[in-house]
Structure 1
């Protein structure tokens, strides 16, 4: 009898459970490829296999951009490129291309494709429904059923949440439909969907309580499974979505107060699962903030996450690509370039916004003058853990022999443990140097044409923070950093607190919201000495308090794939002023004084804004450079310039180091901003344009053709009716 294996990768167990000869019968008489007979569910081993298979198909991924299957993970996908984080127009802000059903050019978050249950949202929901039905009707004990069903209900809620946040109401399917190329079901209201998701999460929380509300959640081989706390944390995210302007145009206060009451009461249950802010007794310059992403074993910050491993060429191979993506090319990475906009927006060392930032104007400006030419001066501790500039240490645990085999012209730094980033650049012609359309042609230290002006450092496995790195630096086809077991955290405890702070503020309890903000700021490195960098009126001014929370979210969660959702929730592209053709009067924003941006003091992202990039090129006095790694081709080396000591974030005396680096920049480098977002064919600068119908997306053409009875969203063409205007109202209750 042929052995059958269900492989589960990326989940905490990281195991392959084989049903060998004595248990082959579990999977023998399949009703379809993805639906098994009830006998499978009558043993705990068989039922757990099905749950593990659900994890494998539904866990978030560190290696994917936003799609119907996965949320954004912080990569430069269409969502993140529609925020301040990256330049280069994402699909949602491209002024030259409008997303329409007719053109079928909108990102597809609704369904995927028919033909395989693993290739679309409702196929995955079908598998979960099968597990719920099979386990519920099995002969397992009630205790066994609860542990397994709680996980299944969580993932069904997770799948529906990832539909509702984009589309509003969607068809609710709870039975196991036969596989087909299409199905017929109408869209439920958004309210019905929110209630359904919350009901599933309440069931999950209750069923998992006996297994996980024990001070540590799941441990041992079960570590990585969702818990009562995971379910309630996701529920908090859902309740916050429902209270937010995107679905609450009149600012119905009961949505805020209901969410606040539930989330505040349920925080204790989340804490009882062992979750809290990650911290150590040796936090230096934001090191705790950096270390939280690189924990092996139990991490109290990680509420919902995906585990990875360092295996290569194995059925269970599941590596995270993040470290390889962020590291510079001269040590075998690729590098990620942040936008200059976000760099310039980050808070200063006193926790306040830079005075030069023309947004978040209801928040106090910093007492530190913003040094645009040296943006690393006097910044929030998280700044140094989010970005990497020329002249900073960024150590790794490597092997010089492996590095030189991959990059024979790169300098070596004691097997990476003393690596310094010197990513300044130069031009071969003065015309290119002075043209803002061009970034530098060649970078120092063998970066050459592959350098970035500034690097995203966020979530990097920095050897100076974690001396037991989660990657194995060995030669392989994808580069030495490819074998990384860094977990991907989709929902952190910091988000639990900031979600609660936001609903507290919306409900009018600003004092409690500020207390939660202080907890986040304390972990970042602020103290009571300056009120954690928070201005005094946050407890009395609701708009200022909410603005502070949204700003904090932007900084705390930068490059974690959360900003696009926040900007949509609060309608920060136009303040809710855009009109959708065919929309009823209930779509008009009447809460928040009729304009969320004005109320918050936030500059609308559509208001003549564009994201450009930042670099540090050699000063004009050094002239142009060459095209190779030769010292004479680097203008600074050719002139005999000696580099200053690189900034070492392990040292508590950061200010002196930064002043030294600043002085070196003043003598040798110049900041240059160059084209990030596109120009027109006539070389005219283009600006962000998020159309109002993008807040609530329409069903793409492909899924519509397979779901004949599902109405199209208002503002989008209905494929099934000759592209007539859609009639489904996501705001109708």
Structure 2
């Protein structure tokens, strides 16, 4: 790898002599040190902690570079290219074509970052971890100390390479600290070589860490560090990715069989690290324990690779202040949240019914039997999968929190423990009411112009679920200082990856067993076959559809859906061709069309709209504006209407939802609101994921800073204006 300018901080003559017992607080910048520091356990641990700070999957904020962290549920370009959000992420915007030769509409850069800054660069991060590996290996530490630290370092290097591999396939493999030499760069290794390298690092990490973590995992002091379980779980994710249609166009079954065998051997080892399906057999009231596991305090058996946060305030504090801003982002504005995240109507309508089956109106995964329960889109909260209620918030639900946002400006009627969300909307002008693109909507209880038609609720720190909030709520900051963890890899993913490998290698019975365990955790029982249709064991396509559907529901707003759509080529079924691509790029497995195989409607050519529940026209007439009181009058047109009690998930749902449905039927109506874009003539635009996006090319800055680095087929090289020649599907290096 070559950088034209590579600025490294001057090495200070410092040997670190102590470190904090608090793993999170220890992740400071220890980059400026000397090689002698590695001869001290505390010094080596400090250098490793610095790599953690750069490599852990933090990043709820949009300001975090995309190369540094994976998508994790926020409305980024990846999630806005799925059913979860509307608004056209860059990959599906039909009005633009991503470019590798221009900084306008540039293809995203997951490869480099800022080439001139070590700490702001993908390869600077890898340089640091290579320095840690070399420094510890050559140190005077004991073998036990070396193994403990090196196991974590090898995992972190594998993680950094995985984040590039999933996009580009083969990338340069660099295992030593290199000094930048003008005019020289390291060539891309083949995809197979890169895959093998990552797996070897993970094998090494798993072996080295076993004596420290395979007896129940780290103690609470070191919780959050890499474990044998994390290494094995990431390797399993890699193997399933490599066996998927994206990398396996002919459906080479040996890849699936290798993954299946791996999981059979790996899962018992993962269990030894203290990881298992959290709350298995104990769903709680209306899947409350499923909701609780996302904000669990202390060691969580569900969490395999987890990013920890704290409540320490920013500004004038040490550099270990790390706050999770997810809670702040999803909470409505009248709670002093940032205003909320808006789910698309598409994902609301596709969630299963309470019998576990897809709604009959959902026209994807049609190889799966539809529900016998009629879905009423005007009352979408009726008769749904238990996870629906823990994933979305809609008018008329309790969403309690530990705090009090009441103030004279809002005239908010609730303090936190009593908070009820009423986010129906009205219009002060008839022309706005009839305009699907108008944003001039208003909501009650102080929401006013900050109202959202629906809210994402997933991963919330709900006071009715968790009585000890992980956030430090104040009138000035709301939920800003939250310590809720983020699980990048959790045990459920291991089981679903295992199920996928089992299904595709001829062991659908094993796959179905994993689905039953996962559904049992949220309240389904053997009485109705855990909501699964019978006969999945003998129908590979239906079994695979059930797995992908389960992933979509279970992992909603966790940043996993785009990866699933991409690796299964569900934007077009894998039917489009990339100019210049060899015949090996043609999808021949799965009948040559993964969408047809799964009964899935391709996302290309579809739109995602938003939805709201508006006051029926005969009651509409409320006032607009940004304040709760306008001229001394309550602007809510339903101000004098008695609302039903908001739905409290601690109690039986059915009678509460029926009362709420009566209120909706009498006073509200579902309406479509603009989701995906319109063109300048106000005509609808549709999702359009182009075939070359399955393997993104290197962005403009990558090519001009790394002359000679081979560009991917389907993309132009900005430094030469030549077409790309690197084949991510080639197993061997092509002789030139």
Task: Give the corresponding residue for 2:406.
Answer: 404
Q: CA deviation at 1:16?
A: 4.1
CA distance in 2, matches of 1:70, 1:18: 18
Task: Give the corresponding residue for 1:344.
Answer: 349
Q: CA deviation at 1:181?
A: 7.5
CA distance in 1, matches of 2:616, 2:705: 60
CA distance in 1, matches of 2:161, 2:150: 17
SS of 1:97's partner is: coil
Q: CA deviation at 1:440?
A: 5.3
CA distance in 2, matches of 1:594, 1:5: 58
Q: CA deviation at 1:435?
A: 2.2
Q: CA deviation at 1:137?
A: 1.3
Whether 1:331 and 2:335 are equivalent positions in the alignment is yes
Aligned counterpart for 2:610 among listed residues 590, 609, 613: 613
Equivalent residue runs for 1:432-447 within 5 Å = 432-439=432-439, 441-447=441-447
Q: CA deviation at 1:475?
A: 3.5
CA distance in 1, matches of 2:494, 2:522: 16
SS of 1:372's partner is: coil
Q: CA deviation at 1:180?
A: 6.2
Q: CA deviation at 1:439?
A: 4.5
**Higher fraction of helix:** 1
Whether 1:658 and 2:657 are equivalent positions in the alignment is yes
Contact 1:6–1:53 under 8 Å retained in 2: no
Equivalent residue runs for 1:398-547 within 5 Å = 398-399=403-404, 403-405=405-407, 408-413=409-414, 415-439=415-439, 441-476=441-476, 479-547=477-545
Task: Give the corresponding residue for 2:6.
Answer: none
Aligned-residue Cα RMSD (Å) equals 2.0
Distance 1:380 1:12, change over 3 A: farther
Contact 1:146–1:208 under 8 Å retained in 2: yes
Whether 1:14 and 2:13 are equivalent positions in the alignment is no
Equivalent residue runs for 1:118-133 within 5 Å = 118-133=119-134
Task: Give the corresponding residue for 2:394.
Answer: 389
SS of 1:158's partner is: helix
SS of 1:545's partner is: helix
Task: Give the corresponding residue for 1:635.
Answer: 637
Q: CA deviation at 1:220?
A: 2.5
Task: Give the corresponding residue for 1:30.
Answer: none
Equivalent residue runs for 1:696-715 within 5 Å = 696-715=695-714
Whether 1:374 and 2:396 are equivalent positions in the alignment is no
SS of 1:721's partner is: coil
Task: Give the corresponding residue for 1:23.
Answer: none
Distance 1:582 1:375, change over 3 A: same
CA distance in 1, matches of 2:393, 2:487: 22
Task: Give the corresponding residue for 2:5.
Answer: none
SS of 1:417's partner is: helix
Contact 1:4–1:18 under 8 Å retained in 2: no
Give the count of matched residue pairs.
706
1:204-232 CA-partner distances (Å, limit 9, x unpaired): 00000000000x20013111111000100
1:288-345 CA-partner distances (Å, limit 9, x unpaired): 1110111111000110011111111321211110010000001111211100000000
Distance 1:228 1:2, change over 3 A: closer
1:696-717 CA-partner distances (Å, limit 9, x unpaired): 0101111112222210000000
CA distance in 2, matches of 1:12, 1:687: 49
Moved more, 574-583 or 218-227: 218-227
SS of 1:536's partner is: coil
Task: Give the corresponding residue for 1:101.
Answer: 100
Task: Give the corresponding residue for 1:31.
Answer: none
1:442-485 CA-partner distances (Å, limit 9, x unpaired): 11111111110000000000000000010011234xx2210111
CA distance in 2, matches of 1:6, 1:436: 63
Task: Give the corresponding residue for 2:266.
Answer: 266
Contact 1:5–1:17 under 8 Å retained in 2: no
1:621-646 CA-partner distances (Å, limit 9, x unpaired): 11321024245421111xx2110111
Task: Give the corresponding residue for 1:63.
Answer: 60
Whether 1:646 and 2:646 are equivalent positions in the alignment is yes
CA distance in 2, matches of 1:332, 1:79: 28
SS of 1:425's partner is: coil
1:32-79 CA-partner distances (Å, limit 9, x unpaired): xx4754311112111111111110111011423570111111000000
CA distance in 2, matches of 1:551, 1:17: 38
Contact 1:73–1:559 under 8 Å retained in 2: yes
SS of 1:489's partner is: strand
Task: Give the corresponding residue for 1:84.
Answer: 83
Equivalent residue runs for 1:311-322 within 5 Å = 311-312=312-313, 313=315, 314-315=317-318, 316-322=320-326
Q: CA deviation at 1:182?
A: 7.4
Whether 1:227 and 2:227 are equivalent positions in the alignment is yes
Distance 1:678 1:182, change over 3 A: farther
Distance 1:44 1:89, change over 3 A: same
CA distance in 2, matches of 1:8, 1:531: 52
Contact 2:75–2:85 under 8 Å retained in 1: yes
Task: Give the corresponding residue for 1:720.
Answer: 719
Whether 1:250 and 2:283 are equivalent positions in the alignment is no
CA distance in 2, matches of 1:321, 1:7: 31
Task: Give the corresponding residue for 1:362.
Answer: 367
1:60-111 CA-partner distances (Å, limit 9, x unpaired): 1142357011111100000000000000010000000100112331111111
Contact 2:15–2:36 under 8 Å retained in 1: no
Task: Give the corresponding residue for 2:296.
Answer: 295
Aligned counterpart for 2:595 among listed residues 570, 575, 597: 597
SS of 1:624's partner is: coil
Task: Give the corresponding residue for 1:569.
Answer: 567
1:123-170 CA-partner distances (Å, limit 9, x unpaired): 111111111111111111111111100000000000000001001100
CA distance in 2, matches of 1:542, 1:63: 37
Whether 1:48 and 2:52 are equivalent positions in the alignment is no
Runs of 5+ in structure 2 lacking a partner? 1-11, 732-736
Contact 1:392–1:422 under 8 Å retained in 2: yes
CA distance in 2, matches of 1:8, 1:61: 22
Whether 1:626 and 2:623 are equivalent positions in the alignment is yes
CA distance in 1, matches of 2:42, 2:635: 64
Q: CA deviation at 1:122?
A: 1.1
CA distance in 2, matches of 1:670, 1:4: 67
SS of 1:209's partner is: helix
TM norm structure 1: 0.94
CA distance in 2, matches of 1:491, 1:445: 38
Distance 1:659 1:18, change over 3 A: closer
CA distance in 2, matches of 1:435, 1:675: 9
SS of 1:122's partner is: helix
CA distance in 2, matches of 1:669, 1:440: 18
Contact 1:114–1:181 under 8 Å retained in 2: no
Task: Give the corresponding residue for 2:213.
Answer: 212
Runs of 5+ in structure 1 lacking a partner? 20-26, 28-33
TM norm structure 2: 0.93
Contact 1:35–1:127 under 8 Å retained in 2: no
